Chain A
Amino acid sequence: MSLGEIIVALNVRRKTARAEVPPWAMANGARPRLLVIAVALGVVAIFLLSIGVGSVFIPPLMVIKTLLSHLPFVQMQVDAPSTYGTILFDIRLPRVVLVALTGAALATSGTAYQGLFRNPLADPYLIGVAAGAGLGAICAIALRTTSSSSISVFLVPLASFTGALATVALVYQLGRVGGSTPTTTLILAGVAVGSLATALSTFILLRLGQQVVHVMAFLLGGYSAAGWEAVVAVAPFTFIGFVLMYVYSRPLNLLLFDEEQARNLGVNVGRVKLIIIVAATMTTAGAVAFSGLIGFVGLVVPHAARMVIGPDHRRLLPLAALGGAAFLMLADLLARTVIAPEELPLGVVTAFVGAPFFLYLLRRARNAAFF
């Protein structure tokens, strides 16, 4: 069978398996698949640029060659300095991958929280989850720096997840009124519990005395220090969380109505809410474990994606993931280059870029529906 025949056969199979989607079923964002592919290509381009730029500039083509030559089963001679391999693999690649993961995680969990709570302002920071995750991470890092016994890096995202989950459980309980959880009380409880968690974090940092420098350095510059270990520690949280959110993206669409309508349409509301909350919390926890406070990603990226592709979470979540990765990689690129060799904290850059962009979105969206 020739390649052409295989492609024809595959196409026939796909046509029979999938129904033709009528235009009215996806009029928001006329060509979603094409758009997602275009954004994905953009992400790859930013990624290549991102790992090329630094104290030693490596042109994108050379980056591709060097990366390919390190793949297993690829025999390729590269006429590049051998140091390129080390720079790329040991220093830049883990940092950029972690930044991309963090951006995708913050954007997707923001998307999910906004949909779930039917509130355009909901993001991991507003409902206190990020603060809880931060508290967990700080406890773990503080233990790591102060105690003589070494605690594994892998404990940081775990502690962060525990903190985040505890916060969500507490916020959810406090926000309950009778049998339901209204959005307003949920967010009020989130702001209160989040403030408490932030206060506790500050208290712990202050009690550390001299050691605080190390913890702060880890929190702000965690990316450069952490290496592949951090990537491996964070990736499962982000990945599992994203898959869960994606699997439940259709019921999440129905929750954009109200809970009673969703239930009447056959959605097991309690279960879906719980799964989405746990999934979004996992993703947030993974992101916060090594990044400290990075605002605006979970707010700006979902809204921008919604404007481009519409409110359907089945298309929105993948686009938000790609957009979040691209946005944070670009922000990180700026953070590294603007005052090189010094570095800006990533959160400062995202706020500088994110706040005006968010205001622009708000002006554009003034007359349009958010969801």
Chain B
Amino acid sequence: MLNIEHLSAAYGKRLALHDICMEARAGEVVGVVGSNGAGKSSLLRAISGSLAPTRGRVLLNGIDLSRLSVDVRARQIAVVPQSSHLPGAFTVGEVVLMGRTPYLPFLGSESTRDYEIVLAALTRTATEVLAERRIGELSGGEQQRVLIARALAQITADTGAQPRILLLDEATAHLDIKHQAAIWELVRELARSGLIVIAALHDLNLAAQCADRLALLSGGRLLVCDKPSQVLTPDWLWRAYDVSATVITHPLYGTPLVTLTQKEV
């Protein structure tokens, strides 16, 4: 259980998040949506500990995350970054193995168990065939899958079944629809197995299909956090994005489908 209580955060004097209260349960995918600069990435950064809160706190299973040391926190939360700088000469296997860093003893080396976990993460993301390739030689979509594999290796526990958090910041933005679908299927499956997944998303229709609930941000404030059908309404979209939208129901899944209303010519 993740509880975000009255969370505010700022970059210098510019307020990025203002008094956000929300929660996420194990097993669900919470999508974070909102316009550019609404605070989607800031919210993820505040949860992961990269952005220190000015007020409020983030609790995971009742523990204040800001009180944990860096490596203990890294065992609870894995982040798949938006677009990232990758040192291209490392192999895919080496990069995914870095996900095991928070578990390694100081001066110790990886154990057989770590290698098994990495191999499982590679297999689950269909990247095991790339394992010996250099990461710099891969396409953007392949790189993104490798980063998801690294996150997977990072939150695979040795023991214990406490829910952990997977944060995705536009994780599938560079992927074609086939790989996008594969990744989201995997993410939903991970959530079902007991993870808390929080994903910042641009694509509202993708968000409607992939997330169990959506948190709609605007100007650093949380407007609403509810089921996609309750959030993706013309009224909320007008308030958050300042656009007129037509929302229809998906013919197969019953999820909302958002299209922009065309201006009268």
Asked whether A170 is an interface residue with its Cβ less than 8 Å from the other chain, the reply is: no
Residues on B with C-beta less than 8 A from A266 are: 70-71, 73-75, 101-102
Asked whether A19 is an interface residue with its Cβ less than 8 Å from the other chain, the reply is: yes
Asked whether B156 is an interface residue with its Cβ less than 8 Å from the other chain, the reply is: no
In the complex, are the beta carbons of B50 and A25 less than 8 A apart? Answer: no
A24 vs B123: C-alpha distance in the bound complex, in angstroms?
A: 13
Segment 199-239 of B: residues with Cβ below 8 Å from A? none
Residues on A with C-beta less than 8 A from B107 are: 247
Chain B residues with a Cβ closer than 8 Å to the other chain, count: 47
Q: Give B contacts to A, CB under 8 Å.
A: 11-12, 45, 48-50, 69-71, 73-75, 77-79, 81, 84-94, 97-99, 101-102, 104, 107, 109-112, 114-115, 118-119, 131-132, 134, 136, 154
Residues on B with C-beta less than 8 A from A269 are: 70
Residues on B with C-beta less than 8 A from A20 are: 112, 115
Asked whether A217 is an interface residue with its Cβ less than 8 Å from the other chain, the reply is: no
Residues on B with C-beta less than 8 A from A26 are: 94
The A-B contact count (CB < 8 A) is 118
Asked whether A254 is an interface residue with its Cβ less than 8 Å from the other chain, the reply is: yes
In the complex, are the beta carbons of B49 and A310 less than 8 A apart? Answer: no
Which of these, B70, B84, B119, contacts A263 with CB under 8 Å? B70
In the complex, are the beta carbons of A24 and B131 less than 8 A apart? Answer: yes
A247 vs B107: C-alpha distance in the bound complex, in angstroms?
A: 7
In the complex, are the beta carbons of B90 and A28 less than 8 A apart? Answer: yes
Closest to B77 in A: A264
Residues on B with C-beta less than 8 A from A251 are: 101
Asked whether A261 is an interface residue with its Cβ less than 8 Å from the other chain, the reply is: yes
A27 vs B90: C-alpha distance in the bound complex, in angstroms?
A: 9
A22 vs B87: C-alpha distance in the bound complex, in angstroms?
A: 21
A265 vs B79: C-alpha distance in the bound complex, in angstroms?
A: 8
Known: A25-B110, A266-B70. A369 touches B88 (CB 8 A): yes
In the complex, are the beta carbons of A19 and B115 less than 8 A apart? Answer: yes
Which of these, A27, A264, A267, A311, contacts B87 with CB under 8 Å? A311
Asked whether A293 is an interface residue with its Cβ less than 8 Å from the other chain, the reply is: no
A207 vs B86: C-alpha distance in the bound complex, in angstroms?
A: 50
Chain A residues with a Cβ closer than 8 Å to the other chain, count: 38
Interface string of A331-371 (1 = CB under 8 A from B): 00000000000000000000000000000000000001111
Known: A19-B111, A19-B114. A118 touches B85 (CB 8 A): yes
Closest to A314 in B: B109
Known: A247-B107, A257-B85. A24 touches B102 (CB 8 A): no
A27 vs B154: C-alpha distance in the bound complex, in angstroms?
A: 21
Closest to B106 in A: A247
Residues on B with C-beta less than 8 A from A250 are: 101, 104
In the complex, are the beta carbons of B110 and A19 less than 8 A apart? Answer: yes
Most buried by A among B87, B93, B131: B87
Residues on A with C-beta less than 8 A from B91 are: 24-25, 27-28
Beyond the given pairs A27-B91, A265-B74, 10 more chain A to chain B contacts, judged by CB atoms under 8 angstroms and listed by A's residue number, are A22-B93, A25-B118, A27-B94, A253-B90, A261-B85, A264-B74, A266-B101, A306-B89, A368-B136, A371-B90
Which of these, B48, B49, B70, B93, contacts A27 with CB under 8 Å? B93
Residues on B with C-beta less than 8 A from A260 are: 45, 50, 81
Asked whether A312 is an interface residue with its Cβ less than 8 Å from the other chain, the reply is: yes
